[in-house]
Amino acid sequence: MPYVNIKVTREGVTSEQKAELIEGVTDLLERVLNKNPATTMVVIDEVETDNWGIGGEQVTHRRKRGE
């Protein structure tokens, strides 16, 4: 019954990678907390780099500096 929300920047995450994240998190919750995978929900949010800030600045700016 867990609910997991994963937020990452929108920078070309493939459908296969999303599938791996969903499977990986679901397995983790079964392994650590014995949660039934059938009702584990995972929602992935892809966020534009302009809309994500860290260190007081947009990720867009950090990417331009090669970070």
Total residues contacting its own copies by CB under 8 A comes to 51
Contact (CB, 8 A) for 6 and 41: no
Q: What angle is formed at CA 52 by the lines to CA 23 and CA 14, rounded to 5 degrees? A: 35
**2 catalytic, yes or no?**
yes
Does position 53 bind its own copies by CB under 8 A? yes
Shortest reach from residue 34's CB to its own copies, in Å? 10
Q: Which residues bind its own copies (CB under 8 A)?
A: 1-9, 13, 15, 17-29, 31-33, 35, 37-47, 50-61
